[in-house]
Amino acid sequence: MFFGIILICLALFIVSFELEKDSGSGKSNQVVNIFNWGDYIDPKLITKFEKQTGYKVSYETFDSNEAMYTKIKQGGTAYDIAVPSDYTIKKMINNHLLLPIDHRKLKGLSNIDSKFLNLSFDPGNQYSLPYFWGTLGIIYNDKYVKASEVKHWNDLWSSKFKNSIMLIDGAREIMGLTLNSQGKSVNDTNSKDLQAAYEKLKKLSPNVKAILADEIKVYMAQDEAPVAVSYSGEAMEMMDNNKNLRYTIPEEGSNIWFDNMVIPKTAKNIKGAYAFLNFMLKPENAAQNAEYVAYATPNKAAKKMLPKSMQSDKVMYPTNKTIAHLEVYDALSQKNLSKYNDLFLQFKMH
Amino acid sequence: MKAKGLYFSSYVLWLLLFVLAPVALILYQSFIGINGNFTINNYESFFKISSYLRMTFNSVFYAGLITLITLLLSYPTAYFLTKTKYKQLWLMLIILPTWINILLKAYAFIGIFSQAGPVNNSLEWLGLGSHQLLFTNASFMLVAAYIELPFMILPIFNAVDELDESLINVSRDLGANRFQTFWNVIFPLTLNGIKSGVQVVFIPSLSLFMLTRLIGGNKVITLGTAIEENFLVTQDWGMGSTIGVILIATMILIMFLTGEKKRRRRQ
């Protein structure tokens, strides 16, 4: 038995070694390490990048900003590119975890829509370049729910949705939408306002069917619940699998988020990192990626290359009027972050 | 003698590096406040905030229920298994599911329990209508019990299997009825199997957290969820470690309680 396990390990090791040897091209010692969200790039683009530049890509994924942040902060990693979200970028800049990006080395920065440049979390885009963006909103099944019944966040508290709402498991998101429903900002840190939001959130408990992460996609597609709160990109994926699903952004306000490419301080292959940034700035590559991942691209030249139906999709590309009401999450201090999370945990207990 | 010393020292080294050092680190972290200062605030807030105490209660309560359910199912199963002809084959079939990753099993149950899943389909076919099965306490406990079941059956099976058949014959010869034989002979002799089964099931059940979200829909919040959130989301490692320390203390308490009875019985 024991001997058998050793034999299997040995065989697997030899095979993987052989495979690695084969896939390494001319500059096989020049690896670009990319750290990105799961299922967030068209794999064909990686092959194309490798072929065009001769670099070899080592691609790793993470499933939350916090997990990625911890891994980079602890050191011992050598990621040349990472893709954190807005408030995490701010936190990484504050903690000196990122290298500034030299704009002179970039080609095609003008392809990016100016709306998505120079944002509060990274003024002047000194450290980050937009990759994808999206919103937080309500997904509903038009078999059971009318569009007019979910126009506002407050509609979630309606008694007709008893035990039928699925929420995304995030303190910022759920506390934020409650603050929005009370006419407050998603970045409110006033203790009184947070307490009031918590009191209101407690009343939502009877309507909440479950508080989940990625599984919402599967459940909504299976008709398990008529209403859910999640991100626009997740909504797109659900709608592909269930034609009855619709996505809406409550007009009083919500969250708009950005995932940007950054170069962590621990990067080893800076040249390779710039090569990848420039590769992703090219409209044809950004368009191919947006079509595959189905999130909104900030690259305006790439957007024009997308199929017409995708370009005019209000889920992915809400109107400027809607965008004006949306807020980016600020990086909270550790104390305020704990406050948000403690209240959210208490709500989950309720 | 020399070889013995070598074995012993490597064992001690292992214990130091991989058992004692991590526990010491957790203990140290649990006294670190949110600003990196040395404090006992974490423990204070644990015992002051009612939601943490409720979570502790939830964890112990649900772990207890899961253990009870598995025990009630496992004992008869293990007992009758030893009486079957191909017992090793049956045992292997019972152990087989443990070869599959726990997440895959959880995802399988999502399909089985969903509104359009096979369980609801059969209920509807029987005219009982479809029911909300997922995100209920019952479904959470059922799935947890299913996952832990083999770990309870195995030690009990071994204990029953080692039982000397002649003792039962003696008991019957001396006039004890079936129940008396079971209660006075079989049960006490297999008690050690039950105890190790209870330990093996109860202790991991205390800190379940994946299932509480996937199957329980975060309607049941246990200490495992709180640890995950403090480490990954809030990044308040101090508070997370504090909960960890309390969980470890609870486990030691359980080990101590189940161990003490054993000694008393031997005296």
At B98-135, the pLDDT tens digits run 999 988 999 899 889 888 889 988 998 888 888 888 89
pLDDT score at A167: 95
For Cα atoms B126, B212, B25, give the angle at the middle one, nearest 5 degrees: 160
CA of B114 vs chain A CAs: smallest distance (Å): 7
Hey, what are A77's tokens?
């990693």
Asked whether residue A24 carries a pLDDT value surpassing 50, the answer given is: no
Among residues A251, A240, A221, A85, which one has the least CA distance to residue A152? Answer: A251
Q: Which residues of chain B neighbour A64 with C-beta distances below 8 Å?
A: 232-233
Alpha-carbon span B5 to B210, nearest angstrom: 42
pLDDT higher than 70, residue A50:
yes
Cα torsion angle, B112, B113, B119, B120, sign: negative
Chain A hits for B115, Cβ within 8 Å: 222-224
Would the pLDDT of A40 be above 60?
Answer: yes
pLDDT at site A29:
60
| Confidence at residue B23, expressed as pLDDT on a 0 to 100 scale | 93
Closest by Cα among A255, A211, A220 to A142: A220
State how far the Cα of A54 lies from the Cα of B245, in Å rounded to an integer. 50
The pLDDT, as a whole number, for residue B33 is: 86
Indicate the burial class of A24 (C-beta count within 10 angstroms; 0-12, 13-18, 19 or more). Answer: middle
Cα–Cα distance between A196 and A342 in angstroms, integer?
14
ipTM over 0.85: no
The predicted pLDDT at position A25 comes to 42
Write the DSSP assignment of A3-40 as a string of letters. Answer: HHHHHHHHHHHHHHHHHHHHH--TTTT-EEEEEEETT-
The distance of A126 to chain B (nearest Cα, Å) reads: 26
Question: Which residue's structure tokens are 């480490």?
Answer: B231
Residue A191 has pLDDT above 50, yes or no: yes
Question: Measured at the alpha carbon of residue B247, what is the angle toward residues B245 and B249, in degrees to the nearest 5?
Answer: 70
Q: Which H helix or E strand runs over B237? A: helix B237-266
User: Which of chain B's residues have a Cβ under 8 Å away from the Cβ of A210?
Assistant: 134-135, 217-219
Mind listing the domains of chain A with CATH numbers? 27-132+259-311 (3.40.190.10), 134-256+319-349 (3.40.190.10)
The residues spanned by each domain of chain B are: 50-266
Work out the average pLDDT over A93-103. 94
What's the confidence (pLDDT) of residue A145?
94
Q: What is the least distance, in Å, from the CA of A333 to any CA of chain B?
A: 10
What pLDDT is stored for residue A133 in this prediction?
95
Domain B50-266: assigned CATH number = 1.10.3720.10
Residue closest to A216 by CA, chosen among A204, A229, A232: A229
- pLDDT at residue number B2: 65
**Can you tell me the mean pLDDT for A32-36?**
95
With contact defined as beta carbons under 8 Å apart, do A111 and A299 qualify? yes
Share of chain A above pLDDT 90, in %: 70
Please, where are the H alpha helices in A158-231? 171-181, 191-202, 215-221
pLDDT at B1: 55
Task: Please choose, from the candidates A84, A176, A164, the residue with its C-alpha nearest in 3D space to the C-alpha of residue A137.
Answer: A176
Distance CA A103, CA A170 (A): 34
Say yes or no for a CB contact (<8 Å) between B213 and A213. Answer: yes
What is the per-residue pLDDT for A28?
45
For B234, the closest chain A residue by CA position comes to: A338
The answer for B 146-165 residues in CB contact with A (under 8 A) is: none
Residues of chain B with pLDDT under 50: 265-267
- Nearest Cβ partner of B219 from A171, A210, A218? A210
